[in-house]
Every structure is written in C-alpha cells, then in structure tokens.
Amino acid sequence: MKLPIVAIVGRPNVGKSTLFNRLIGKREAIVDDQSGVTRDRNYGDCEWNGKIFHIIDTGGYVPESSDLFETAIREQVEVAIQEADSIIFLVDVKDGVNPVDKIIIDILRQSGKIFFLVVNKVDAEVHTIAAAEFYSLGVEKIYDISALSGRKTGDLLDDITKNFPASDLIKEDKRLKIAVVGRPNVGKSSLTNALLGIERSIVTDIPGTTRDSLDSVLKYYGEEIVLIDTAGLRKKKKVEESIEFFSNIRSLKAISECDVTVLMLDAQTGFEKQDQKIIDEVVRWRKGLIIAVNKWDLIEKETNTARKFEEAIKEKLGTVDFAPLIFISALTKQRIFKLIELCKKVQDERSKKIPTSELNDTVLPEIEKIHLRHLQAVKK
C-alpha cells in the first residue's frame, strides 16, 4: 500500500519538529530552542478523517560554515520535493519574512508540487495581523497555526488531505514487495540490476550514486515481484548530512511499504551500527527480514569461513538472530535467485494463520514450566 507523503520544510528553528510531533500524535522528534538539533529519524504516519499519509520532518541542519547554510537548506528542500506528494512550507511569524524563505518558495514554485505556506507560532488571534506579512511571498492563502497548541492545524489537515484517498479505498497490491536496504556502496543497485538483467540504476564505486528510488518489477516464473531499490542520492555538493538524512528516509519508507526487507551487508566490512538501526525499523514495522552478505566472491575462503562469519553476525543480532542469512555476489550473480526464493519462503511464513487451539497447545505447557520453576525458586 503506497501512502501519500507530506514533507515539512523550512528554515531551522521555525517549529518543524513541533509540528511533526503534533501531526503524528507522539513526541518522537527532539524539540529544542537551539537550531539544527534534528539529526535522526523523523518519519511517521498521520491519520486525519480516515486518511493516512506519511509525514517527514526535514529537520534544520545548520552547517558550521555560514556560507554552506543556504546550500544545506536548498538541498533539503530539493530532495524533499523529489520524495513528497505535498509540501508544508513552515515559517515563523515572530521572525517575519526571511531572505531564505524567499529562496525556498522559489524552489517550490519551480517544482510544480503542491505546497502549503504555514505560518507557525501564531498562538493567539492577536498575532494573525503579523502573519499577513507572508502574503508578500505571492501566495493565495496562508495558514496561521500554532504547532505547540494545535491551533488551526485541523483546517490545514483538511486542505492537505482533500485529494488523498481514504485508507479503505487504497487498493492493496498483493504482489510480493521486497525492499533492498543497507549502507551506501554495499551493492544494492548492483543486486537490483543483476536480478532484472538490465542496468536499472547508475552503479559506480562512489557511495550514493543512485539518484532516484523507483520500484522495479521482476518477472519470476510468471510471478510479478516488486523490488524497491533504496540506494542513496548523489552527493553533488559538500553538504552530505541532508543527503544522508533522505537516504535514511527512503529506507524507512521502503521498509514501511514492503513485505520482506533484504538488509545487505558488505562481506569485507561486516555488520555495523547503521545496520542495527535498519533492523530496529524492520522489527518496528513487523516486516520479514533477510540478511544478505554481498561481495562474497571477494573473500578468501578457508575452512568454516561462512560459519564463522554467520556466528559473528548472529551474536550481534541478539533477539533478532532468527533472521535467515545468505551469502551472495551481485557481481557474479551467485545465489541471487536463491535470495528471491528465500524472500518468498519468509513471506509464506508471515502469511501463516495458526489456529488458536494449536497455539494454546504449544504455548500453555511452556507457561506452566515457567510457573513451576518460579514456585520452586520461591520455596528455596
């Protein structure tokens, strides 16, 4: 199920994270008076009048170098435009119209995407007069709200979701959907290309060379399987943090939409901290998980090399050690179709319905064993 995506963009410290928290109904984004504190995952779901959509908080990353400030914001807005169906352009009534606001609105106009100019921190009717200054940006309508108190956010949501489909009308795609995720340069695009048999994505040795994240359809023995390639964006400028942010957003979006996630590791670098973050998201979304160790053709094989590698990874996985692990090479196509078979098997397991009686017959004896051990421990 593909849900509409709404991105919140704007200068640092205008209240983007506060609005994000308000819309998703949780306090996930860090909110601070200091600008530029949003660094981690700010991606969630919002439901309004029977309509659900993804919401992205672009954060307010501020480079240390003042001359990179404008570049960083421009990059975040440009990438948000690529990802989103609609944009919330948030400004601050207390600051008035800022030169950077003019730059952002020019980018939005050139994009042709739907955007909503939202004036934040209008905590009372008395501040609405000051909000009128933003009509000078040439928009037909402004939305004066308070993200902190929720004032008039309902009116904004009514207009944002006006053309969104109701959740029960979104047609379910029953094809197996596989998200290929992982750190930059582990071979995500190479795997997609190898499976499809075409150069679907730009592939180089430079991390993050894939511009777009588009779904591809793999014809597999008469069955259509959707491959979601989540490779990152090209780092065209030296402001890399905003690009990395949106690469993460793409992975999170793909995980939410897929049935089975394939986490790709580089056989030469192994399991790293960023991989654990991806796994946490897969577990959070209750999706199937497979760990594919790529570039296995580059490893010098010794006795039990694969077993030792697998044991080292399983140890780091902790409670997620149930995830099947497969060694592949996207370059030589080693085991790549076994990977597809494994994805189908995992999805079959996810789809199983266990009768209540069978579940009780399995679980209740285990509960009784635990209860008996507890009673014995108390007696001692």
The answer to whether residue 332 scores a pLDDT higher than 60 is yes
Q: Are 29 and 44 in contact (CB under 8 A)?
A: no
Question: Stretch 268-289: mean pLDDT, rounded?
Answer: 87
pLDDT digits 0-9 by tens, 4-38: 889 898 888 888 888 988 888 865 444 444 444 43
Give the type of residue at 68: L
| Res. 347 pLDDT band, cuts 50 70 90 | very high
- Determine the Cα–Cα distance for residues 178 and 322; give it in Å rounded to an integer: 18
Give the CA distances from residue 224 to residues 197, 217, 218, 344, in Å, rounded to whole numbers and listed in that order: 15, 6, 6, 12
* Pick from 250, 324, 261: nearest CA to 288: 261
pLDDT at 126 (0 to 100): 77
pLDDT digits 0-9 by tens, 228-256: 866 544 444 444 555 566 667 777 778 88
Give the CA distances from residue 15 to residues 10, 31, 60, 156, in Å, rounded to whole numbers and listed in that order: 9, 8, 9, 15
Query: Residue 289: left if φ>0, alpha if ψ -120 to 50, beta else—which one?
Result: beta
pLDDT digits 0-9 by tens, 128-148: 888 999 999 999 999 999 999
- Determine the Cα–Cα distance for residues 144 and 119; give it in Å rounded to an integer: 5
CA 24 to chain centre: 15
Q: Which of 5-9, 273-277, 289-293, 298-302 has the lowest mean pLDDT?
A: 298-302
Q: Which two tokens stand for residue 297?
A: 């053709």
Q: Are 81 and 1 in contact (CB under 8 A)?
A: no
pLDDT at 140 (0 to 100): 92
